[in-house]
Amino acid sequence: MKKNIKKILIANRGEIALRVIRACRELNIKTVAVYSEVDRAGLPVQYADESVYLGPAEARESYLNIDKIIEIAKKLKCEAIHPGYGFLAENFQFARKCEKSDIIFIGPNSKSLKLVGDKLRSRDMMAKASIPLIPGMNDVQNDLKDLKKIAGKIGYPVIIKASGGGGGKGMRIVRKPEELLPGVEAGRREAKAAFGDETVYLEKYIEKPRHIEFQVLADNYGNSVHLFERECSIQRRYQKIIEETPSPALDDELRHRMGETARRVIELSGYNNAGTVEFLLDEDKNFYFLEVNARIQVEHPVTEMVTGIDLVKQQIEIASGNKLALKQQDLKQRGHAIECRIYAEDPENNFYPSYGKLLLVKEPQGPGIRCDSGIYTGLEVPYHYDPILSKLIVWDENRKRAIQKMKIALSDYIILGVKTQIPFLLDILDHSEFKSAKLHTHYIAEHFAKWIPAKTPENRHLALLAAALMKMNREKKGVKTESRTSLSPWQLLGRWEIFSR
Ligand code: MV4
């Protein structure tokens, strides 16, 4: 069962590929990066020990090309593949092909991956084990007349979900009986097109829940621990943008109950490696199991900051067949961590993706500041993939200080050349309901529906100003006055106050 992993292929790109390469280096494991046509200049290609061209930009021909990736892993004698998040991370056929090729898939076994990907089947299994679930259906129901009866029993509003979906894809809310059947028909078509499975089911719709998830690690021998929660209620169109831990909504007693429930969900699913158990928490603090995310998640760093545990290294240790070295009673949460996702999106233009060459990148630094990114000055941001540029994570002793640190770090983060939603993030952090932690999944829809950015100077104007200041500095030096600084305005950029915020 134990296997010495000496080389890992990273079947991903961008910040998460770099994150995995860093963990491998620390464990003395060689790395192979794979890259598409538009990622030749990406940092993973530079950081990995070897890199192999995969194919054209389209994900189907590169990062989703199962046979090609396995072929490269075999050829270069990689004992394991790390899928990161997205792309092939939750594809049980990929996991199964790895298993059949005697390559370790760094993630759960394919059988349990298939189970947790089938929301209706896992709902049914959890119901039988008395895991708290939102009232709704636990089996496939094809007769539309029956559906109407079931919805009546559940009580409106109900939510239609795709069994093969997840993460909000293919969901619709139904508030009146006459909207049910058209909703189900549309939902089925959508689910069929998106996941190749038209199965949908109904649940009672919970208004304004909090989204709280628990990080779990499980080894190959039935041992598991949870590494506490992350609160991910701040999202926009199912895209999380701010995550934090601990959740201000939990006390130790509720945290303990939810954490133990999460471990049971993982054990019942026969799950191994790192996984996340998602819950909704309603306004009366009842929690309900939603689904298992079978991957390392985008927001994993906040858990690392408060527990001091490197989750990617744990994933590799587990995949190598080592027993979990962590014991639940030894795990503690220390301080508070917040993550902001930085996307190449234009908040002034309905968050439309913004692509192009990065003219200047300057990342914040300081105690308790972590920046997981794959960007640098001069990099061309391709439009073919998820527009995430970077993740800014801060740690401090409590929530208030962490928010303060995040505001400073965001203001120091300079990205010129593409638009980012940094101004939007800053306004959320400044909002009174955020400060008092009154969070829920409709927070942005409720408080920021009509958000417009404060007038900030355009990059072109900044460039002109920078040139003017540089000239001034040179002239000062020329007459030998005591110059305040010999730094160029570009180096000082984050400190400019042109308009007051
Ligand atoms: C819900 C819900 C309300 N009631 N289910 C969205 C992601 C997917 N994992 C489940 N989701 C939801 N399921 C019931 N019965 C509200 C959401 C939801 C949501 C959940 C987590 C994070 C953001 C969200 C945004 C809108 C809706």
Given pLDDT bands bounded at 50, 70 and 90, which one contains residue 457? low
Checking if the pLDDT of 490 tops 50, the result is yes
DSSP secondary structure letters along 147-178: HHHHHHHH-SSEEEEETT-BTTBT-EEE-SGG
User: What are the CA-CA distances from residue 389 to residues 53, 167, 420 (Å)?
Assistant: 22, 20, 9
pLDDT score recorded for residue 477: 61
pLDDT (average), residues 83-105: 98
* Residue with CA closest to ligand 1 atom 11: 168
Residue with CA closest to ligand 1 atom 15:
205
On whether the CB atoms of residues 414 and 361 are closer than 8 A, the answer is yes
Pocket test for ligand 1, best of 138, 159, 212 (most atoms within 8 A of CB): 159
Same domain, 362 and 239: yes
Average confidence (pLDDT) over 437-462? 86
Burial track 238-258 (b if 16+ CB lie within 10 A, e otherwise): ebbbbbbbbbebbeeebbeeb
CA atoms of 304 and 313, how far apart (whole Å)? 11
pLDDT in tens, 126-155: 999 999 999 999 888 878 788 999 999 999
What integer is the mean pLDDT of 66-94?
98
In this predicted structure, what is the pLDDT of residue 424?
A: 96
What tokens were used for 414? 């300079």
72 found inside a domain: yes
- In-domain check, residue 489: no
Distance CA 383, CA 39 (A): 11
129 CA to middle of ligand 1, Å?
22
- DSSP H stretches of helix in 413-453: 422-429, 432-435, 443-447
Q: What is the CATH number of the domain that holds 179?
A: 3.30.1490.20
Across residues 2-9, what is the average pLDDT? 96
| Structural domain boundaries, residue 18 | 7-106
230 and 164 together in one domain: no
Closest residue by Cα to atom 27, ligand 1, is 441
Q: Does a structural domain hold residue 481?
A: no
Comparing 180-194, 226-240, 427-441, 464-478, the range with the smallest average pLDDT is 464-478
Choose the final residue of a domain: 402, 427, 447. Answer: 447
Question: Is residue 199 situated within a structural domain?
Answer: yes
Q: Nearest to residue 469, comparing CAs of 452, 449, 492?
A: 492
State the total domains in the chain: 3
Confidence band of 112 (pLDDT split at 50, 70, 90): very high
Q: Which long-range contacts (CB under 8 A, 24 or more apart) does 303-306 make?
A: 303/215, 303/227, 303/228, 303/230, 303/245, 303/337, 305/245, 305/335, 305/337, 305/368, 305/370, 305/393, 305/395, 306/228, 306/245, 306/246, 306/333, 306/334, 306/335, 306/336, 306/337, 306/395
Question: Does the structure show a pLDDT above 60 at 332?
Answer: yes
Domain identity same for 231 and 94: no
In the set 295, 341, 399, 501, the catalytic residue is 295
Say whether both 416 and 312 belong to one domain. Answer: yes
Q: Do both 250 and 306 map to the same domain?
A: yes
175 and 324 in a single domain? The answer is: no
Domain for residue 128, yes or no?
no
- The pLDDT of residue 223 is above 60: yes
**pLDDT, position 500:** 41
User: What is the number of the ligand 1 atom nearest to the C-alpha of 207?
Assistant: 3
Q: Could you tell me the distance, in angstroms and rounded to a whole number, from the CA of residue 168 to the centre of ligand 1?
A: 6
The pLDDT, as a whole number, for residue 484 is 55
92-96, 350-354, 405-409, 473-477: segment of lowest average pLDDT: 473-477
* Cα(423) to centroid(ligand 1), Å: 26
Residues 249-267, mean pLDDT to the nearest whole number: 98
Judged against a pLDDT cut of 70, whether residue 496 lies above it is answered with no
Are 415 and 317 within one domain? yes
Instruction: Give start and end residues of each alpha helix (H) in 250-368.
Output: 252-268, 300-307, 311-319
Q: What is the mean pLDDT of residues 339-359?
A: 93
Range of weakest confidence among 8-12, 106-110, 163-167, 441-445:
163-167
Test site for ligand 1: of 206, 441, 443, most ligand atoms within 8 A of the Cβ: 441
Active site residue 295: yes
Q: Tell me, yes or no, whether 221 and 269 share the same domain.
A: yes
Residue 458 lies in a domain: no
What is residue 50's DSSP assignment?
E
> Are 410 and 299 in the same domain?
yes
Query: For residue 372, what is the domain's CATH number?
Result: 3.30.470.20
Binding-site residues, ligand 1, Cβ < 6 A:
134, 159, 166-168, 203-206, 209, 211, 235, 238, 278, 280, 290-291, 441
Give the rounded percent of residues in the chain with a pLDDT score beyond 70.
94
Give the residue among 124, 131, 109 at the shortest CA–CA distance from 271: 109
Q: At what angle do helices 110-117 and 119-128 cross, to 10 degrees?
A: 90
pLDDT tens digit string along 181-204?
A: 999 999 999 999 888 899 999 999
Q: 350 C-alpha vs ligand 1 centroid, how far in Å? A: 22
Q: Is the pLDDT of residue 232 over 80?
A: yes
Identify the burial level of 484 via C-beta atoms within 10 angstroms of its C-beta, where 0-12 means exposed, 13-18 middle and 19 or more buried. Answer: exposed
Find the 241 Cα to ligand 1 centroid distance in Å. Answer: 15
Residue 405: predicted pLDDT: 98
pLDDT band at 58 (very low <50, low <70, confident <90, very high): very high
The whole-number average pLDDT for the span 456-485 is 67
Q: What is the pLDDT of residues 360-390, one digit of tens each?
A: 999 999 999 999 999 999 999 999 999 899 9
pLDDT at 163 over 50: yes
Token pair of 288 as six digits: 């309900």
Which residue's alpha carbon is at the smallest distance from atom 3 of ligand 1? 206
Q: Quick one: pLDDT at residue 476?
A: 63
C-alpha span between 42 and 381 (Å, rounded): 9
Domain boundary at 152, 175, 204, which?
A: 204
- Interval 475-494 mean pLDDT: 63
In a domain? residue 45? yes
pLDDT score of 100: 98
DSSP line for 202-234: EEEPPSS-EEEEEEEEE-TTS-EEEEEEEEEEE
454, pLDDT greater than 80: no
Query: Do 220 and 162 fall within a single domain?
Result: no
Q: Is the N-terminal amide bond of 157 cis, ω within 30° of 0?
A: yes
Encode 209-233: b = buried (16+ Cβ within 10 Å), e = exposed. Answer: bbbbbbbbbbbbeebbbbbbbbbbb
pLDDT category at 166 given cuts 50, 70, 90 is: confident
Based on the fold, state whether residues 70 and 152 are members of the same structural domain: no
